[in-house]
């Protein structure tokens, strides 16, 4: 058994310690945003955050998440109240097929959380490990820049403001 915190909720998972985090998220917890792409940590479709760092969940055993904070795309907002990253991707229409987008968003979220004013070069370097076959890279980059602006605005909102984080 492994105890993990996913999107702020504590879960006790009965799975082998070497079970990939991706399988637990999808099969045990019903969180389907992270996708199975290559199973080798090479495409980025499965990217989530563990303690604020982007990781490939397909190659991360759940044992390594014991006592750590796991954040998936579902933890950034809801359909009714999307978070800044989600809003930016919607507003920029950054998805075509959408398969890579959750991983792109999580990798960008991790970058902007530690560097809210990331340069174009830093954004490109951060997203380099995530593959998009549809070629929506220009829209994805615009969405990440928009998200950075939205996040800075959200940080400037006084306590009790209506901005969703």
Walk along the chain (165 residues) in steps of 10 and give the mean pLDDT of each run.
Answer: 95 95 98 96 96 98 96 96 96 93 97 96 96 91 96 60 37
Residue 107 · residue 140 · CB < 8 Å: no
pTM of the predicted model as reported, rounded to 2 decimal places: 0.90
Residue 139, classed as helix, strand or coil, is helix
Residue 95, classed as helix, strand or coil, is coil
C-alpha dihedral sign at 123, 40, 48, 26? positive
pLDDT at 163 (0 to 100): 37
- The domain limits of the chain are 2-75, 77-156
Tokens 């490939």 correspond to: 56
pLDDT at 160 (0 to 100): 36
Query: CB neighbours (10 Å) of residue 128?
Result: 10
pLDDT at 155 (0 to 100): 61
State the pairing for strand pair 53-56/9-13.
unpaired
Residue 96, classed as helix, strand or coil, is coil
Report, at the CATH architecture level, how domain 77-156 is classified: Orthogonal Bundle (1.10)
Pick the CATH number of 2-75 from 3.10.20.30, 3.30.70.380, 3.60.21.10, 3.40.50.1000: 3.10.20.30
Residue 39 · residue 14 · CB < 8 Å: no
C-alpha dihedral sign at 7, 9, 10, 15? negative
């Amino acid at each position: 058994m492994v105890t993990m915190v996913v999107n702020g909720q504590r879960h006790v998972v009965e799975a082998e310690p070497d079970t990939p985090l991706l399988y637990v998220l999808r099969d045990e917890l019903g969180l389907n945003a992270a996708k199975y792409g290559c199973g080798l940590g090479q495409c980025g479709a499965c990217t989530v955050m563990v303690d604020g760092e982007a990781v490939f969940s397909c190659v991360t055993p759940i044992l390594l998440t014991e006592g750590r904070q796991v954040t998936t795309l579902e933890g950034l907002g809801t359909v009714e109240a999307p978070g800044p990253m989600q809003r930016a991707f919607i507003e920029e229409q950054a998805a075509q097929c959408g398969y890579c987008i959750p991983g792109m968003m999580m990798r960008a979220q991790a970058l902007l959380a530690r560097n809210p004013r990331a340069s174009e070069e830093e954004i490109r370097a951060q997203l380099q490990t995530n593959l998009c076959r549809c070629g929506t890279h220009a829209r994805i980059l615009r969405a990440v820049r928009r998200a950075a602006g939205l996040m800075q605005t959200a940080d400037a909102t006084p306590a009790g403001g209506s901005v969703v984080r």
